[in-house]
Amino acid sequence: MSEPKREGRDRLFAVAVPLVAVAAIAALAALTPALSWLGSDRAAHFHGRDVTGQNWGAQFTLTDPAGHRVSLADEKGKAVLLAFGYTHCPDACPTTLARLAEVRHLLGGDAPRVQVLFVTVDPERDKGPILGRYVSAFDPTFIGLSGSEDETDAVATAFHADYGITKYQGEILVEHSVDTYLIDPSGRTRDVIPYSLAAREVADDVRLVLDGSSS
Amino acid sequence: MFKSAIRTLLLLTLLDGVASAMAQVVVTEPWVRGTVEGQASTGAYMTLKSAHDVTLVGASSDVAGHTSIHQMQMHGDMMMMRPVERVQIHAGHAFVLEEGHYHLMLDDLKRRLNVGDQVGLDLQFLDADGTKQVVHVVARVRELAAHDSPHMHSGMGHE
């Protein structure tokens, strides 16, 4: 079968990251563990990709399903786990959210110090109460956030997350990055958590930023 | 003469019935991911096995306005889903519709799917000779956060 064609009319939200930047990030990512290893003061490492000091991410303000504006800065003092997705997602998003719910469970008494934010890349269809119901089904503390196209683009770009929406034979196809971003209690993005990490590994990484032992 | 023709016809019909029963695709562990109120789509998962080569060419369900075969693919950290027109089931080899791989995409859901509900699915197959076969499956609804197995089979190494 032919590849689904992107339709120009439905504005494509694909956020272009120049190849050079990707290569630079990949090189940094490859070097980071080696450098950390050399630094004797670093007792522990992230299971994910350490992006400490790389100005990864940015402050943002989006809207929760109740219509309140929520800023990343509101979560200062907590570790934030930020993920992108959409409620029509049958597979990757439930896997990610179920894992993040398990992470909170594994953190036990530290769970209240962690906030999960789930940003929809499909705000057009995730309007109204659906986004809140969806994320709450995994954990009642999870917050679903949506924004305008520009707001969503800006947040995704800041976190080097990519997404696109395509129409194909009447179906709306969404693709998106499935990394989760760990932001420390002071608001700095520290760790890019790949989809393949297990809940206990994510919990280890969260403990590191809560302890401040990997700063 | 006339009677014997009828008998032959009957016999042929019976034999035909036996043949298609033997060619029947066996579906095991079908399940559908539960939804929250207002959620428009979800995925269905199961294992398909057939004694003969067959091709899954479509599916439908009473609970969904539109059902299609989807393949999920990972490109780097990007999750991509695309509809596929057919999936080949090789004789004797189990084909698993599972998380991170293939699923049936149920779109335009007509109602909320609660844990424990039963969802009827009609799977359409083509045999090697082009004969159409429809297999009715009753899938159980599991929770939204359900996993199909303790580990993923598609090399993504989750847990």
* Closest chain A residue to B67, measured at CA: A171
Is residue B13, in this structure, part of any structural domain at all?
no
Is residue B150, in this structure, part of any structural domain at all?
no
Q: Where are the domains of chain A?
A: 19-211
pLDDT band at A29 (very low <50, low <70, confident <90, very high): low
Is residue B97, in this structure, part of any structural domain at all?
yes
8 Å CB contact of A91 and B39: no
8 Å CB contact of A130 and B74: no
**Interchain contact B67–A (C-beta under 8 A):** no
The predicted model gives B125-144 an average pLDDT of: 95
Is residue B149, in this structure, part of any structural domain at all?
no
- The shortest C-alpha distance from B51 to chain A (Å) reads 27
Instruction: Assign residue B124 the CATH number of its domain.
Output: 2.60.40.1890
**Above 70 in pLDDT, residue A95?**
yes
- Residue of B31, B77, B132, B62 whose CA lies nearest to A22: B77
Is residue B158, in this structure, part of any structural domain at all?
no
Cα–Cα–Cα angle for B82, A48, A198, nearest 5°? 70
CB neighbourhood size of B151 (10 A): 11
Choose from A5, A13, A56, A91 for mutation: most chain B CBs within 10 A: A91
Is residue B151, in this structure, part of any structural domain at all?
no
pLDDT band at A170 (very low <50, low <70, confident <90, very high): confident
**Interchain contact B7–A (C-beta under 8 A):** no
| Measured distance CA(A63)–CA(A41) in Å, rounded | 40
pLDDT given for residue A25 in this prediction: 54
Q: Give A 127-186 residues with CB within 8 A of chain B.
A: 128-130, 133-134, 136-138, 162, 168-169, 171, 173-179
Is residue B44, in this structure, part of any structural domain at all?
yes
In this structure, are residues B68 and A171 in contact, taking their beta carbons and an 8 Å threshold?
A: yes
| Measured distance CA(A45)–CA(A175) in Å, rounded | 30
**Above 90 in pLDDT, residue B16?**
no
| Measured distance CA(B84)–CA(A12) in Å, rounded | 22
**Which residues, other chains included, contact A99 with Cβ-Cβ below 8 Å and sequence gap of 6+?**
A198, A199, A202, B158
8 Å CB contact of A90 and B37: no
Number of domains chain B contains:
1
8 Å CB contact of B77 and A169: no
The predicted model gives B64-92 an average pLDDT of: 93
- Residue of A202, A180, A87, A184 whose CA lies nearest to A133: A87
| Measured distance CA(B59)–CA(A124) in Å, rounded | 27
**Interchain contact A196–B (C-beta under 8 A):** yes
What are the structure tokens assigned to B107, written together?
């779109």
| Measured distance CA(B95)–CA(B91) in Å, rounded | 10
Q: How far is CA A131 from CA A86, A90, B45, B109, in A?
A: 8, 14, 24, 16
| Measured distance CA(B152)–CA(B159) in Å, rounded | 8
**Interchain contact A26–B (C-beta under 8 A):** no
Tell if the pTM clears 0.90, that is, is over it. Answer: no
B70 chain-A contacts, CB cut-off 8 A: 90
Domain of B104? 26-142
**Inter-axis angle of helices A199-211 and A92-107, nearest 10:** 50
Q: Any idea which of A48-57, A142-151, A170-179, B36-45 has the lowest mean pLDDT?
A: A170-179
CB-closest option in B77, B85, B159 to A194? B77
- The shortest C-alpha distance from A45 to chain B (Å) reads 19
pLDDT digits over A4-21, tens only? 444 444 444 444 445 555
- The shortest C-alpha distance from B131 to chain A (Å) reads 22
3-class SS at A47? coil
C-alpha of A50 from chain center = 14
What are the structure tokens assigned to B48, written together?
């398909």
pLDDT band at A90 (very low <50, low <70, confident <90, very high): confident
Tell me which of A2 and A100 has the higher pLDDT: A100
Indicate the average pLDDT of chain A.
85
Choose from B36, B69, B86 for mutation: most chain A CBs within 10 A: B36
8 Å CB contact of A101 and B78: no
| CATH architecture of the domain formed by A19-211 | 3-Layer(aba) Sandwich (3.40)
pLDDT given for residue A30 in this prediction: 57
- The shortest C-alpha distance from B90 to chain A (Å) reads 20
Q: Any idea which of A117-126, A130-139, B12-21, B146-155 has the lowest mean pLDDT?
A: B12-21
DSSP letters spanning A152-191: HHHHHHHTT--EEEEEETTEEEEEEE--EEEE-TTS-EEE
**Which residues, other chains included, contact B73 with Cβ-Cβ below 8 Å and sequence gap of 6+?**
B79, B80, B81, B82
- The shortest C-alpha distance from B80 to chain A (Å) reads 5
**Above 60 in pLDDT, residue B128?**
yes
pLDDT given for residue B40 in this prediction: 93
pLDDT digits over A108-132, tens only? 999 999 999 999 999 999 988 999 9
* Closest chain A residue to B32, measured at CA: A90
Q: How far is CA B65 from CA A130, A132, B62, B136, in A?
A: 19, 24, 8, 17
The predicted model gives B122-143 an average pLDDT of: 96
Interface predicted TM-score (ipTM)? 0.76
